[in-house]
Chains A and B, each alone.
Chain A
Amino acid sequence: MGLPLANARAICPDLRVFDADPAADAQTLEDIADWCDRFTPLVALDPPHGLYLDITGCVHLFGGEAAMLQLVCSLLTAQGFIVSAAIAANPVCARTLNRHVHGRIVRDGEEAEAVSPLPVAFLGAGEPITVGLRRAGLKTIGDVAARTRHEITARFGASFTNLLEQALGQGDVPISPRKPLPDYIVEKRFAEPVTTEAVIASALSSLAKMLVAAMAQQGKGARRLEACFFRTDGVVRAIAVDTGQPVTRGEVIDRLFRERLEALSDPLDPGFGFDLVRLSASRSEIVVEVQRDLDSHVHDNDELAALIDRIAARIGGKRVVVYLPQDTHIPERAVLAVPAQQHLAAATQAIWQPRAESEPPLRPLRLFERPEEIKVIAQVPDGPPARFVWRRATHAVVRAEGPERIAMEWWRPQGSTLTRDYFRVEDENGLRFWLYRDGLYDREIEQEAGRAVQPCWFMHGLFA
């Protein structure tokens, strides 16, 4: 407790010494916080060695406050930690009591009397303030509380006064939990830890049914589902599934989780078994049931969205894309790929430029993201290519059309400013290409010592 090592060794000769490892300590604290999820979903960190658990509304599940305190502490002690805990109406009061003694439970309204006899050091206000309080002759928190507030504020600052009031039980101090509170939670505890996949799958199914029933009472469906598996040795694994449209049916939840679990790169390892499985739903929305006609498109869109959700659950939401047109004439930026789960409706209503009637295709079917550099023999300054070498194969051009001049966006500060001259060419084998010359002769290419730098040619796309 703040002693130098030599003094500590003098007191206790067979002391074991370890190097301090704050990173590992922080990780352990996070792991313990994950484990504490089984008691309440609202867990906050109090670094370096503490945790706040907001047990409002959970206490009855564990048989009362005293029983819950006993349970948490005994389970943590069994895992090898030394624990001290306290329960109070707000976290500051609880922390103050905890510094004093382990196992205090303070009811609402009794915080002031519980905290008053404690020394001021337990408030945790910092070294200068504590020393100042002692010098002023205020040894216990009760003494400080007896003074008028404005005297305390004038001497020690407003934040100390806030701390004092919170410790006395006045004022509300919310904690910032590590994860947002889900809208619906259902869980299943097993008396005997389960390890087999079949049992886990059936547990998830029954949880899905309960969840759907709970949501149906308020007419809601959820767009984010998370399944947490708590192992007996304290490890917690969470699997989340996002969907594009709210889920209201248990078999859909089953299917999505099955796809996700199969596709996990790091499979679910039960270890010695799971003793708690929890399914939670967030991002819930009111679901409006639409009357389905025999030939309506609503049904089709729903089916398509459900298919997209299933595929996204297996390979990832970013890999299923729809395209939206962009307002730019640069060919490689003319479309934007967006995840289909969120933008399916927008994509079906996007406005694409219609093609010019009775003209051949003016844009290639396949477009390279990065245009590839090619060597070209062409007439200068504006002639189409006569021969070019691409990917180590020579192509002789039979006919060409162009140039289509596309200038870069000069109003943007960064990026290329060279104008592109695009040519549609066909070679002797019937293959059709879209290539461009980057830069105009005489106007945009710099001259170095009287010798013009050759502009580069690039292959941008292939026509059907």
Chain B
Amino acid sequence: MVSARIGTLASLRGDIARIETHDGAYRPARVALGHAEADAVLQGGLALGAVHEVFTEAGRQSAAATGFIAGLAARVAARRPLLWVRQDFSETEAGALSMSGLAELGLDPRLLVTVRAPDAEAALRTAADALACDALGAVVLEVWGETRQFDLVSSRKLTLAAQASGVTALLLRIAATPSSSTAETRWIVRAAHSPPASVCNAWGAPVFDAELVRNRHGVLGRWIMEWKCDECLFAKQAADSQPLAAAPAHRPHPAQARVRQRRAS
């Protein structure tokens, strides 16, 4: 009798262990971001074929969040077409995406197709449709503000669609607070200061304060990441972001640089 009960308990424990680790059998392909600590926490990098969310609380940080998600898209969708679904309201509030700006960040504007959806619901449906097409590398969905369409059900639909086709979904929610969803990772991004100026320093490389607030398969963290436009990689913020060997023609004379420094700062 006792041994039968022990046997039942053991088999039940085995069942529970199997159900719990069923998710562990899901091993998606991952692409490294380039930032060593973030990649370690993400177990190798950003998961492909999953939904990732990027939030900003204030509308002022919209450009930083857009830059971060453009960086993620560049890593995920390396040479493949990218679909950017944008709500019209987001365009009027934060400005249109500039192709020359994207080219400066290192993305290829030839691979970008933009959809201007009239409202959040149309944007969500378009994103869900687009995730079914496996010719794309990634789908970016940009929405401004709180919308009740982004609930658990719609998030689950997007996750399933992304898993089925292998296209990564990147959600950019500007001026919204995170709510429950089935996203693989969730980031809150703010703008970060450029490194302190030194003499021969060209400042202005995108620097983000990225906080990982949800990670389905790992721990959380917060890092300052810099996007390297030439190599299309995230990196730790270096004290001196100028490459060591600059072409001599671009290096200004120290005296002139000091004068420029005084006028500029």
Contacts and interface: CB of A to CB of B under 8 A. Distances in A.
Interface string A365-388: 111110000000000000110000
Interface stretch (B44-52, B149-157, B177-185, B197-205): B197-205
Contacts of B217: none
A361 B99 CA distance: 12
Nearest to A361: B104
Contact of A361 (B62, B66, B105, B118): B105
Contacts of A299: 135
Contacts of B230: 355, 357-358
A325 interface: yes
Interface residues of B, number: 68
Contacts of A311: 115, 126, 129-130
Interface stretch (B10-18, B28-36, B90-98): B90-98
A337 interface: yes
A-side interface size class: 35 or more
A428 to B, nearest CB: 8
The B interface, classified by DSSP as helix, strand, loop or mixed, is: mixed
A379 to B, nearest CB: 9
A461 interface: yes
B126 A323 contact: no
B264 A303 contact: no
A315 B100 contact: no
A157 to B, nearest CB: 58
Contacts, number: 204
B135 A323 contact: no
Interface stretch (B1-9, B19-27, B186-194): B186-194
A352 B136 CA distance: 21
A36 interface: no
A113 B253 CA distance: 103
A340 interface: yes
A323 B114 contact: yes
B248 to A, nearest CB: 13
B61 A431 contact: yes
Contact of A353 (B102, B103, B118): B103
Interface string A335-346: 101001000100
Contacts of B148: none
Interface in B74-92: 80-81, 83
Contacts of A361: 101, 104-105, 204-206, 229
Given A325-B99, A363-B98, A462-B63, A337 B203 contact: no
A399 interface: yes
Contacts of B206: 361, 463-464
Contacts of B99: 323, 325, 334-335, 352
A295 interface: no
Contacts of A340: 113
A303 B129 CA distance: 12
A303 B98 contact: no
Contacts of A357: 230
Interface string B155-176: 0000000000000000000000
A414 interface: no
B204 A432 contact: yes
B41 interface: no
Interface string B210-248: 000000000000000001011000000000001100100
B58 to A, nearest CB: 10
Contact of B95 (A337, A358, A369, A424): A369
Given A331-B100, A361-B204, A365-B105, A464 B64 contact: yes
A365 B102 contact: yes
Contacts of A360: 202-205, 229
Nearest to A390: B60
Contact of B109 (A323, A369, A429): A323
B225 to A, nearest CB: 11
Given A426-B203, A463-B63, A320 B113 contact: yes
A152 to B, nearest CB: 63
Nearest to A347: B110
Interface in A310-351: 310-311, 314-315, 319-323, 325, 331, 334-335, 337, 340, 344, 347-350
A203 B203 CA distance: 64
A304 interface: yes
A371 to B, nearest CB: 10
A197 interface: no
A344 B26 CA distance: 36
B96 A321 contact: no
Nearest to A315: B122
The 8 A-B pairs of least Cβ separation, nearest first, read A464-B67, A360-B204, A462-B63, A361-B104, A366-B95, A303-B135, A464-B206, A367-B98
7 contacts: A335-B99, A358-B202, A363-B100, A366-B97, A367-B96, A368-B95, A398-B265
